[in-house]
Protein backbone atom coordinates (compact mmCIF):
# COMPACT_ATOMS: atom_id res chain seq x y z
CA UNK A 1 0.00 0.00 0.00
CA UNK A 2 1.29 3.44 -0.95
CA UNK A 3 1.35 6.18 1.69
CA UNK A 4 1.30 9.79 0.51
CA UNK A 5 3.62 12.41 1.98
CA UNK A 6 1.40 15.30 0.88
CA UNK A 7 4.55 17.29 0.10
CA UNK A 8 3.89 19.17 -3.15
CA UNK A 9 5.27 17.33 -6.22
CA UNK A 10 7.14 14.76 -4.11
CA UNK A 11 4.33 12.19 -4.31
CA UNK A 12 4.18 12.71 -8.07
CA UNK A 13 7.90 12.11 -8.38
CA UNK A 14 7.58 8.95 -6.24
CA UNK A 15 4.81 7.47 -8.35
CA UNK A 16 2.06 8.22 -5.84
CA UNK A 17 3.82 8.02 -2.47
CA UNK A 18 5.93 5.70 -0.36
CA UNK A 19 5.14 1.96 -0.13
CA UNK A 20 4.64 0.55 3.37
CA UNK A 21 7.81 -0.85 4.90
CA UNK A 22 10.13 1.36 2.84
CA UNK A 23 13.16 3.29 4.03
CA UNK A 24 13.68 6.83 2.77
CA UNK A 25 16.80 8.94 3.19
CA UNK A 26 16.46 12.72 3.11
CA UNK A 27 20.09 13.57 2.41
CA UNK A 28 20.80 17.27 2.83
CA UNK A 29 23.66 19.68 2.52
CA UNK A 30 24.46 21.50 5.77
CA UNK A 31 22.14 24.46 6.23
CA UNK A 32 19.19 23.04 4.28
CA UNK A 33 15.88 22.75 6.16
CA UNK A 34 15.60 18.98 5.82
CA UNK A 35 13.70 18.19 9.04
CA UNK A 36 10.52 19.75 7.64
CA UNK A 37 10.26 16.98 5.04
CA UNK A 38 10.13 14.29 7.71
CA UNK A 39 7.86 16.32 9.98
CA UNK A 40 5.39 17.12 7.19
CA UNK A 41 5.21 13.49 6.12
CA UNK A 42 4.54 12.39 9.70
CA UNK A 43 1.92 15.11 10.17
CA UNK A 44 0.17 14.05 6.96
CA UNK A 45 0.13 10.40 8.00
CA UNK A 46 -1.24 11.29 11.46
CA UNK A 47 -4.04 13.21 9.76
CA UNK A 48 -4.76 10.07 7.71
CA UNK A 49 -5.10 7.99 10.90
CA UNK A 50 -1.66 6.37 11.05
CA UNK A 51 0.60 6.30 14.09
CA UNK A 52 4.20 7.43 14.25
CA UNK A 53 7.28 8.25 16.29
CA UNK A 54 10.25 10.58 16.20
CA UNK A 55 13.66 9.43 17.38
CA UNK A 56 15.53 12.61 18.20
CA UNK A 57 19.15 13.09 19.10
CA UNK A 58 19.40 16.73 18.00
CA UNK A 59 16.71 18.45 20.11
CA UNK A 60 14.50 17.84 23.11
CA UNK A 61 10.94 16.63 22.37
CA UNK A 62 9.57 19.95 23.63
CA UNK A 63 11.61 21.78 21.00
CA UNK A 64 10.24 19.58 18.23
CA UNK A 65 6.67 20.12 19.47
CA UNK A 66 7.38 23.85 19.29
CA UNK A 67 8.72 23.47 15.74
CA UNK A 68 5.54 21.63 14.71
CA UNK A 69 3.53 24.45 16.26
CA UNK A 70 5.42 27.04 14.21
CA UNK A 71 4.61 25.03 11.09
CA UNK A 72 0.93 25.13 12.06
CA UNK A 73 0.55 21.53 13.32
CA UNK A 74 -0.53 20.23 16.71
CA UNK A 75 1.87 17.41 17.54
CA UNK A 76 1.33 17.77 21.29
CA UNK A 77 -2.30 16.62 21.08
CA UNK A 78 -1.27 13.61 18.99
CA UNK A 79 1.30 12.72 21.65
CA UNK A 80 -1.28 13.11 24.42
CA UNK A 81 -3.70 10.89 22.48
CA UNK A 82 -0.90 8.33 21.96
CA UNK A 83 -1.06 8.60 18.19
CA UNK A 84 2.57 9.68 18.20
CA UNK A 85 5.49 9.47 20.62
CA UNK A 86 9.15 10.32 21.03
CA UNK A 87 12.23 8.23 21.43
CA UNK A 88 14.24 10.78 23.39
CA UNK A 89 17.92 10.40 22.59
CA UNK A 90 18.80 13.98 23.39
CA UNK A 91 17.60 15.13 26.81
CA UNK A 92 19.74 12.84 28.99
CA UNK A 93 22.94 13.98 27.32
CA UNK A 94 22.28 17.67 27.97
CA UNK A 95 21.15 17.12 31.57
CA UNK A 96 17.42 17.61 30.92
CA UNK A 97 14.56 15.28 32.01
CA UNK A 98 13.77 12.51 29.54
CA UNK A 99 10.20 13.09 28.31
CA UNK A 100 9.59 10.59 25.50
CA UNK A 101 7.85 7.24 25.66
CA UNK A 102 11.32 5.74 25.37
CA UNK A 103 14.55 7.33 26.53
CA UNK A 104 18.17 6.69 25.72
CA UNK A 105 20.82 7.05 28.43
CA UNK A 106 23.56 5.18 26.62
CA UNK A 107 24.03 5.00 22.87
CA UNK A 108 24.51 1.24 23.09
CA UNK A 109 20.74 1.12 23.84
CA UNK A 110 19.67 2.86 20.66
CA UNK A 111 19.25 -0.16 18.41
CA UNK A 112 16.93 -2.04 20.79
CA UNK A 113 14.93 1.04 21.77
CA UNK A 114 14.15 1.91 18.13
CA UNK A 115 13.19 -1.74 17.51
CA UNK A 116 10.52 -1.27 20.20
CA UNK A 117 9.34 1.95 18.61
CA UNK A 118 9.01 0.30 15.17
CA UNK A 119 6.97 -2.53 16.70
CA UNK A 120 4.64 0.03 18.31
CA UNK A 121 3.65 1.64 14.98
CA UNK A 122 2.90 -1.15 12.49
CA UNK A 123 1.82 0.36 9.16
CA UNK A 124 2.91 3.73 10.54
CA UNK A 125 5.85 6.11 10.18
CA UNK A 126 9.07 6.59 12.11
CA UNK A 127 11.52 9.48 11.82
CA UNK A 128 15.21 9.09 12.63
CA UNK A 129 16.61 12.56 13.28
CA UNK A 130 19.55 12.88 12.76
CA UNK A 131 21.58 10.10 11.21
CA UNK A 132 24.72 12.26 11.32
CA UNK A 133 24.69 12.30 15.12
CA UNK A 134 24.47 8.51 15.20
CA UNK A 135 27.58 8.27 13.05
CA UNK A 136 29.39 10.72 15.30
CA UNK A 137 28.55 8.70 18.42
CA UNK A 138 28.62 5.12 17.14
CA UNK A 139 31.05 5.24 14.24
CA UNK A 140 30.61 4.38 10.58
CA UNK A 141 30.32 0.61 10.51
CA UNK A 142 28.11 0.25 13.59
CA UNK A 143 25.69 2.88 12.30
CA UNK A 144 25.40 1.18 8.90
CA UNK A 145 24.78 -2.18 10.60
CA UNK A 146 22.04 -0.69 12.79
CA UNK A 147 20.37 1.01 9.82
CA UNK A 148 20.15 -2.30 7.96
CA UNK A 149 18.66 -4.02 11.01
CA UNK A 150 16.08 -1.27 11.53
CA UNK A 151 15.08 -1.41 7.88
CA UNK A 152 14.56 -5.17 8.03
CA UNK A 153 12.39 -4.79 11.12
CA UNK A 154 10.40 -1.98 9.50
CA UNK A 155 9.69 -4.11 6.42
CA UNK A 156 8.29 -6.85 8.64
CA UNK A 157 6.00 -4.34 10.37
CA UNK A 158 5.11 -2.38 7.19
CA UNK A 159 6.50 0.71 8.93
CA UNK A 160 7.97 3.51 6.83
CA UNK A 161 11.28 4.84 8.16
CA UNK A 162 12.35 8.37 7.25
CA UNK A 163 15.99 9.15 7.92
CA UNK A 164 17.16 12.76 8.17
CA UNK A 165 20.82 12.95 7.20
CA UNK A 166 22.94 16.09 7.16
CA UNK A 167 25.79 15.14 4.85
CA UNK A 168 28.89 16.53 6.49
CA UNK A 169 32.37 15.64 5.26
CA UNK A 170 32.13 11.88 5.86
CA UNK A 171 34.13 9.36 3.89
CA UNK A 172 32.62 8.76 0.45
CA UNK A 173 32.47 5.02 1.08
CA UNK A 174 30.39 5.57 4.23
CA UNK A 175 27.90 7.78 2.42
CA UNK A 176 27.72 5.27 -0.43
CA UNK A 177 26.91 2.40 1.94
CA UNK A 178 24.23 4.42 3.73
CA UNK A 179 22.55 5.32 0.46
CA UNK A 180 22.70 1.71 -0.75
CA UNK A 181 20.89 0.53 2.39
CA UNK A 182 17.84 2.68 1.58
CA UNK A 183 14.89 2.08 -0.70
CA UNK A 184 14.69 5.72 -1.68
CA UNK A 185 17.05 8.70 -1.72
CA UNK A 186 15.83 12.30 -1.77
CA UNK A 187 18.60 14.83 -2.13
CA UNK A 188 18.19 18.36 -0.71
CA UNK A 189 20.66 21.10 -1.52
CA UNK A 190 21.21 24.81 -1.85
CA UNK A 191 20.84 26.27 -5.33
CA UNK A 192 23.76 28.55 -6.05
CA UNK A 193 24.88 30.99 -8.68
CA UNK A 194 27.00 33.82 -7.32
CA UNK A 195 25.13 33.56 -4.06
CA UNK A 196 22.72 31.04 -2.59
CA UNK A 197 19.34 31.73 -4.22
CA UNK A 198 17.25 29.00 -2.64
CA UNK A 199 16.85 25.39 -1.60
CA UNK A 200 15.88 22.47 -3.79
CA UNK A 201 15.07 18.79 -3.67
CA UNK A 202 15.18 15.96 -6.16
CA UNK A 203 14.47 12.24 -5.96
CA UNK A 204 17.63 10.52 -7.17
CA UNK A 205 16.40 6.96 -6.73
CA UNK A 206 13.49 4.81 -5.55
CA UNK A 207 13.27 1.03 -5.64
CA UNK A 208 9.58 0.99 -6.62
CA UNK A 209 9.53 3.52 -9.48
CA UNK A 210 11.62 5.58 -11.88
CA UNK A 211 11.36 9.05 -10.36
CA UNK A 212 11.56 12.39 -12.11
CA UNK A 213 15.06 13.80 -12.02
CA UNK A 214 13.87 17.42 -11.81
CA UNK A 215 15.33 19.67 -9.14
CA UNK A 216 12.49 21.54 -7.44
CA UNK A 217 12.95 24.76 -5.49
CA UNK A 218 11.23 24.85 -2.12
CA UNK A 219 10.66 27.05 0.91
CA UNK A 220 9.59 26.06 4.41
CA UNK A 221 6.72 28.35 5.39
CA UNK A 222 5.73 29.11 9.00
CA UNK A 223 2.93 28.15 9.19
CA UNK A 224 2.41 25.88 6.21
CA UNK A 225 5.39 23.54 5.90
CA UNK A 226 7.18 22.62 2.67
CA UNK A 227 5.98 24.59 -0.36
CA UNK A 228 7.27 24.57 -3.92
CA UNK A 229 8.93 27.95 -4.52
CA UNK A 230 8.85 29.78 -7.84
CA UNK A 231 11.20 32.76 -7.64
CA UNK A 232 9.62 34.99 -10.28
CA UNK A 233 6.43 34.87 -12.35
CA UNK A 234 5.91 37.71 -14.79
CA UNK A 235 2.48 39.19 -15.58
CA UNK A 236 2.55 41.36 -18.69
CA UNK A 237 0.47 42.40 -21.65
CA UNK A 238 -0.86 45.46 -23.46
CA UNK A 239 -2.38 48.51 -21.77
CA UNK A 240 -5.81 47.97 -20.16
CA UNK A 241 -5.72 44.17 -20.50
CA UNK A 242 -6.33 43.72 -16.74
CA UNK A 243 -2.84 42.95 -15.47
CA UNK A 244 -3.12 44.67 -12.10
CA UNK A 245 -6.54 43.10 -11.47
CA UNK A 246 -5.13 39.68 -12.38
CA UNK A 247 -2.18 40.12 -10.00
CA UNK A 248 -4.57 41.12 -7.19
CA UNK A 249 -6.70 38.05 -7.94
CA UNK A 250 -3.83 35.58 -7.62
CA UNK A 251 -1.90 37.55 -4.96
CA UNK A 252 -4.47 39.42 -2.81
CA UNK A 253 -1.83 41.23 -0.75
CA UNK A 254 -0.04 42.61 -3.79
CA UNK A 255 1.08 46.23 -3.96
CA UNK A 256 0.58 48.47 -7.02
CA UNK A 257 2.12 51.80 -7.89
CA UNK A 258 -0.57 53.81 -9.67
CA UNK A 259 -1.28 57.30 -10.91
CA UNK A 260 -4.21 59.03 -12.57
CA UNK A 261 -3.65 59.30 -16.29
CA UNK A 262 -5.35 62.43 -17.70
CA UNK A 263 -6.97 62.81 -14.29
CA UNK A 264 -9.44 59.99 -14.92
CA UNK A 265 -8.11 56.51 -15.67
CA UNK A 266 -5.77 54.77 -13.18
CA UNK A 267 -2.88 53.00 -14.85
CA UNK A 268 0.15 51.22 -13.43
CA UNK A 269 3.30 53.27 -14.08
CA UNK A 270 5.82 51.16 -12.17
CA UNK A 271 4.89 47.61 -11.30
CA UNK A 272 2.68 45.27 -9.30
CA UNK A 273 4.42 43.10 -6.72
CA UNK A 274 2.71 40.19 -4.99
CA UNK A 275 3.18 36.82 -3.32
CA UNK A 276 1.01 33.94 -4.51
CA UNK A 277 0.12 30.76 -2.62
CA UNK A 278 -1.75 28.10 -4.58
CA UNK A 279 -2.11 24.35 -3.99
CA UNK A 280 1.24 23.89 -2.26
CA UNK A 281 3.10 26.39 -4.46
CA UNK A 282 4.38 29.82 -3.46
CA UNK A 283 5.62 32.38 -5.97
CA UNK A 284 6.75 35.97 -6.24
CA UNK A 285 4.66 37.74 -8.88
CA UNK A 286 5.71 40.86 -10.80
CA UNK A 287 3.29 42.78 -13.04
CA UNK A 288 4.50 45.25 -15.66
CA UNK A 289 2.92 48.37 -17.17
CA UNK A 290 1.66 47.96 -20.72
CA UNK A 291 2.63 51.21 -22.42
CA UNK A 292 5.66 51.25 -24.71
CA UNK A 293 7.31 54.10 -22.80
CA UNK A 294 7.73 51.71 -19.84
CA UNK A 295 9.39 48.91 -21.82
CA UNK A 296 12.65 49.51 -19.96
CA UNK A 297 10.87 48.36 -16.77
CA UNK A 298 9.63 45.28 -18.66
CA UNK A 299 13.20 44.51 -19.73
CA UNK A 300 14.37 44.64 -16.10
CA UNK A 301 11.50 42.63 -14.62
CA UNK A 302 11.70 39.96 -17.32
CA UNK A 303 15.20 38.95 -16.26
CA UNK A 304 15.25 35.62 -14.40
CA UNK A 305 11.48 35.08 -14.80
CA UNK A 306 10.71 31.36 -14.89
CA UNK A 307 7.14 31.64 -16.14
CA UNK A 308 4.75 34.27 -17.49
CA UNK A 309 1.10 35.18 -17.81
CA UNK A 310 0.43 37.24 -20.95
CA UNK A 311 -2.81 39.19 -20.50
CA UNK A 312 -4.84 40.18 -23.56
CA UNK A 313 -8.14 42.02 -23.91
CA UNK A 314 -10.36 39.57 -25.80
CA UNK A 315 -12.46 42.47 -27.14
CA UNK A 316 -9.47 44.40 -28.56
CA UNK A 317 -7.72 42.36 -31.29
CA UNK A 318 -5.83 45.48 -32.40
CA UNK A 319 -3.73 45.09 -29.22
CA UNK A 320 -2.66 41.51 -29.99
CA UNK A 321 0.33 42.65 -32.06
CA UNK A 322 1.55 44.60 -29.02
CA UNK A 323 1.09 41.46 -26.89
CA UNK A 324 3.31 39.45 -29.25
CA UNK A 325 5.86 42.27 -29.26
CA UNK A 326 5.94 42.14 -25.44
CA UNK A 327 6.39 38.34 -25.51
CA UNK A 328 9.43 38.83 -27.72
CA UNK A 329 10.76 41.81 -25.75
CA UNK A 330 10.67 40.04 -22.37
CA UNK A 331 12.09 36.87 -23.95
CA UNK A 332 9.19 34.71 -22.80
CA UNK A 333 9.38 32.61 -25.98
CA UNK A 334 11.85 30.39 -24.10
CA UNK A 335 9.92 29.99 -20.82
CA UNK A 336 6.54 28.46 -19.97
CA UNK A 337 3.72 30.94 -20.56
CA UNK A 338 -0.05 31.11 -20.61
CA UNK A 339 -2.13 33.57 -22.62
CA UNK A 340 -4.85 34.89 -20.30
CA UNK A 341 -7.74 35.94 -22.54
CA UNK A 342 -9.50 38.44 -20.28
CA UNK A 343 -12.94 40.10 -20.62
CA UNK A 344 -14.61 36.96 -21.94
CA UNK A 345 -17.82 38.18 -20.27
CA UNK A 346 -18.03 41.20 -22.57
CA UNK A 347 -19.86 41.57 -25.88
CA UNK A 348 -17.58 41.10 -28.85
CA UNK A 349 -15.01 38.97 -27.02
CA UNK A 350 -13.11 36.69 -29.37
CA UNK A 351 -12.97 32.97 -28.59
CA UNK A 352 -9.69 31.31 -27.72
CA UNK A 353 -9.55 29.74 -31.19
CA UNK A 354 -10.03 33.16 -32.79
CA UNK A 355 -7.34 34.68 -30.57
CA UNK A 356 -4.94 31.88 -31.47
CA UNK A 357 -5.62 32.44 -35.16
CA UNK A 358 -5.15 36.23 -34.99
CA UNK A 359 -1.97 35.96 -32.89
CA UNK A 360 -0.63 33.05 -34.97
CA UNK A 361 0.18 30.96 -31.89
CA UNK A 362 0.79 27.23 -32.05
CA UNK A 363 -1.04 24.69 -29.90
CA UNK A 364 1.79 24.40 -27.36
CA UNK A 365 0.85 27.78 -25.85
CA UNK A 366 -2.31 27.51 -23.72
CA UNK A 367 -4.93 30.23 -24.09
CA UNK A 368 -7.24 30.33 -21.07
CA UNK A 369 -10.58 32.22 -21.27
CA UNK A 370 -10.95 34.46 -18.21
CA UNK A 371 -13.28 37.06 -16.78
CA UNK A 372 -11.36 38.71 -13.96
CA UNK A 373 -14.30 40.90 -12.97
CA UNK A 374 -16.47 37.79 -12.52
CA UNK A 375 -13.61 35.73 -11.03
CA UNK A 376 -13.93 33.07 -13.73
CA UNK A 377 -11.07 31.11 -15.27
CA UNK A 378 -8.37 32.56 -13.01
CA UNK A 379 -7.67 29.31 -11.16
CA UNK A 380 -7.52 27.43 -14.47
CA UNK A 381 -4.92 29.90 -15.75
CA UNK A 382 -2.76 29.47 -12.64
CA UNK A 383 -3.09 25.69 -12.79
CA UNK A 384 -2.08 25.76 -16.45
CA UNK A 385 1.16 27.62 -15.82
CA UNK A 386 2.13 25.58 -12.75
CA UNK A 387 1.55 22.37 -14.70
CA UNK A 388 3.90 23.63 -17.41
CA UNK A 389 6.54 24.61 -14.85
CA UNK A 390 6.51 21.25 -13.04
CA UNK A 391 5.26 18.54 -15.33
Q: How much is the average pLDDT of 155-181?
A: 94
Residue 309 β-bridge partners: 235, 338
Report the candidate in 6, 1, 10 with the shortest Cα–Cα distance to residue 47: 6
Of the listed ranges 37-46, 57-66, 187-196, 299-308, the least confidently predicted one is 187-196
Report the candidate in 137, 381, 354, 109 with the shortest Cα–Cα distance to residue 243: 381
List domains and CATH numbers for the chain.
2-223 (3.40.50.300), 230-389 (3.40.50.300)
Q: How much is the average pLDDT of 369-374?
A: 97
Residue 263: pLDDT above 60?
A: no
CA distance 211 to 13: 5
Q: How much is the average pLDDT of 235-245?
A: 91
Report the candidate in 304, 313, 321 with the shortest Cα–Cα distance to residue 372: 313
The predicted pLDDT at position 333 comes to 65
DSSP category for residue 245: H
Dump pLDDT digits (tens) for 8-46.
999 999 999 999 999 999 999 888 889 999 999 999 999
Cα 1 to the center of its chain, rounded Å: 24
Report the candidate in 343, 319, 344, 323 with the shortest Cα–Cα distance to residue 333: 323
Residue 297: pLDDT above 80?
A: no
Q: How much is the average pLDDT of 213-229?
A: 90
- Write out the E strands in the chain: 2-3, 18-19, 23-28, 52-56, 84-88, 102-103, 125-129, 160-166, 184-192, 196-206, 216-221, 225-236, 255-261, 265-278, 281-287, 307-313, 337-342, 367-369
The predicted pLDDT at position 330 comes to 67
Q: How much is the average pLDDT of 297-309?
A: 74
Q: Which position has the higher pLDDT, 303 or 146?
A: 146
Are 46 and 5 in contact by the 8 Å Cβ rule? The answer is no
DSSP string, 333-349: GGS-EEEEEE-TTSTTP
Residue 124: pLDDT above 50?
A: yes
Buried residues in 299-336 as b, exposed as e (16+ CB within 10 A) = eebbeebebbbbbbbbebeebbebbbebbeebebeebb
Q: How much is the average pLDDT of 141-169?
A: 96
Of the listed ranges 20-24, 43-47, 228-232, 353-357, the least confidently predicted one is 228-232
The predicted pLDDT at position 269 comes to 53
Q: Which position has the higher pLDDT, 300 or 66?
A: 66
The predicted pLDDT at position 195 comes to 42
The predicted pLDDT at position 261 comes to 46
When pLDDT is cut at 50, 70 and 90, the band that residue 372 belongs to is very high
- If you average pLDDT over each of 69-83, 226-240, 251-265, which comes out highest? 69-83
Residue 373: pLDDT above 90?
A: yes
Residues in Cβ contact with 163 at an 8 Å cutoff, skipping those fewer than 6 apart: 23, 24, 25, 26, 128, 131, 147, 182
Kind of pairing, strands 281-287 and 265-278? Answer: antiparallel
What kind and span of H or E run contains 298?
helix 295-302
The predicted pLDDT at position 268 comes to 47
Residue 267: pLDDT above 60?
A: no
- Phi/psi for 136 (5° steps) reads -65, -35
CA distance 140 to 135: 6
Residue 194: pLDDT above 50?
A: no
Q: How much is the average pLDDT of 198-220?
A: 90
Peptide bond into 223 cis (omega under 30): yes
Distances (CA, A) of 17 to 36, 160, 211, 374: 17, 11, 11, 37
- Phi/psi for 154 (5° steps) reads -65, -35
Dump pLDDT digits (tens) for 37-81.
999 999 999 999 999 999 999 899 999 999 999 999 999 999 999
Of the listed ranges 12-16, 104-108, 383-387, the least confidently predicted one is 104-108
Percent of the chain residues topping a pLDDT of 70: 90
Dump pLDDT digits (tens) for 320-345.
998 988 887 766 567 889 999 999 99
DSSP string, 138-154: H-HHHHHHHHHHHHHHH
The predicted pLDDT at position 262 comes to 44
Of the listed ranges 210-219, 296-305, 348-357, the least confidently predicted one is 296-305
What mean pLDDT, rounded, does the chain reach? 90
The predicted pLDDT at position 3 comes to 96
CA distance 323 to 327: 6
Amino acid sequence: MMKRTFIPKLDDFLGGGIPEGSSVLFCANPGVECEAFGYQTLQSRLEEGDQGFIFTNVAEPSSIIYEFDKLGWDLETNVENENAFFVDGSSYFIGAPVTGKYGVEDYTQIEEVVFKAIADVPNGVGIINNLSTLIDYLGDEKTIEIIKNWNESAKEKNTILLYIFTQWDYEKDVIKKIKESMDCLIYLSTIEERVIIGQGFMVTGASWTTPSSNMVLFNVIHPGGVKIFIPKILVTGPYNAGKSSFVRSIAPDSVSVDRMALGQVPTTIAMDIGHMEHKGFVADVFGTPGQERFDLILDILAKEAVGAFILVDSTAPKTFARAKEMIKRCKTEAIPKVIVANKQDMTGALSTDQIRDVMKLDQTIPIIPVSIIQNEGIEEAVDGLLEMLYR
